[in-house]
Amino acid sequence: MKVLITGAGGNLGRVLGPALEEKGYEPVLMDYRDIETPYLFIRGDVTNKADVLKAVQGSDAIVHAAALHGIHLSKYSRDDFWKLNVQGTYNVYDAALECGVGKILLCSTMGVYGKSIQGSQDGFAAVTEQLPLKPKDFYGMSKTLCEEIGQYYNRSNRISTIAYRLGMFVPEDYIRYGFRLLKGGVDDRDVAQAFLLGLENDSIDFDAFNIMAEVPFSKEELNCFRKEPASFMEERYPGLSELIARRGQKAEELLQMWGYTHWSIEKAKERLGYKPTYNFKEFYTALREGHEESYYPYANLPWWGM
């Protein structure tokens, strides 16, 4: 089974190609720039319909990852976002229709919720897939339109789509990586797991799923977490603050980053069988035992993103 990955030079392609091969799939990688890879590579731009059609031919499924992201908002124009994210997605679906490809796994984003994420009086927001999509920036809007394109092609042409509303998984230093697992982050290996599960699933026509790490406390415990986050975490993970201090950072500051949001992955667990294995508990254990470099490949990365 050939699986085409668009935008394969990015974070997802780096981890998904080997994961596909391990499961017996044949990865086909597409990117606008040359990349070093042991897999079949096709150089092409998703904004060019001829390039996309050439790449899609012979594929059994498509993982559509080519996109500009939220971190690019300050560097690119709305026209750039429209051309790559929206026009590029249309090109992929149209090529899939012409080539008889029946399944697309679509990279969406947590950013589609936008202003729907409203905290309670205690300052918390619980995010499930039932929330309406109200993006608050052009990136989120472009991805909302990508999901709409997927729904249209499913209704009209029976192309099945699973849209992944992905949490943060760009590489960064180990401490920030671990703390974002509490609030919408996800390990890229769990992202790959979610896509493999989507390829194996034949029961979904169109659906969207939050893909994040497992929040290590319940919604009922969120108020305690908000009032005294450092002591709350110290009780559950003894010595955490000292371990963080040894790395030159402050647990109190890290715990306040990214707001107070409880990201639900229950739907993905129930319908896809998704079960993240790289969560805050595992991060803490590796940190405590001094195994962070073997646990997280980018442990010593000194900056945000790639």
User: What are the tens digits of pLDDT across the range 220-238?
Assistant: 787 788 888 899 999 999 9
Which of 64, 125, 62 has the alpha carbon at shortest distance from 99? 62
H helix or E strand, kind and range, residue 210: strand 206-211
Question: Is the pLDDT confidence value at 288 over 90?
Answer: yes
Q: How confident is the model over 115-165, as pLDDT tens digits? A: 998 754 455 678 999 999 999 999 999 999 999 999 999 999 999 999 999
Instruction: Provide the 10 A C-beta neighbour count for residue 79.
Output: 8
What's the rounded mean pLDDT across residues 233-261?
A: 90
Confidence at residue 170, expressed as pLDDT on a 0 to 100 scale? 87
Q: Is the dihedral of CA 282, 179, 194, 34 positive or negative?
A: negative
Tokens matching residue 119: 């905290």
Instruction: Specify the pLDDT at position 293.
Output: 87
- State phi, psi for 96 to the nearest 5 degrees: -60, -40
d(CA 257, CA 140): 20
**Exposed / middle / buried, residue 74 (Cβ in 10 Å: 0-12, 13-18, 19+):** exposed
Beta partners for 106? Answer: 64, 163
Residue 305 has pLDDT above 60, yes or no: no
Percent of the chain with pLDDT over 90: 81
Look-up of token digits 């498509």? 62
Domain architecture of the chain: domains with CATH: 2-295 (3.40.50.720)
Question: Which DSSP letter does residue 214 get?
Answer: P
pLDDT in tens, 41-82: 999 999 999 999 999 999 999 999 999 998 889 999 999 999
Residues comprising the chain, all counted: 306
Average pLDDT over residues 255-270: 88
What three-state secondary structure class fits 208?
strand
C-alpha span between 124 and 214 (Å, rounded): 17
pLDDT at position 141 is: 97
> 3-state DSSP helix/strand/coil percent for the chain, to nearest 5?
45, 15, 40
Residue 79 backbone phi and psi in degrees, to 5: -60, -40
Q: Coil, helix or strand for 107? A: strand
What predicted TM-score, i.e. pTM, was given to this entire model? Answer: 0.94
Strand partners, 104: 62, 161
Largest CA distance in the chain: 58
pLDDT per residue as tens digits for the range 264-275: 999 999 999 999
Angle between helices 188-200 and 11-22 (to 10 degrees): 50
pLDDT value of residue 2: 98
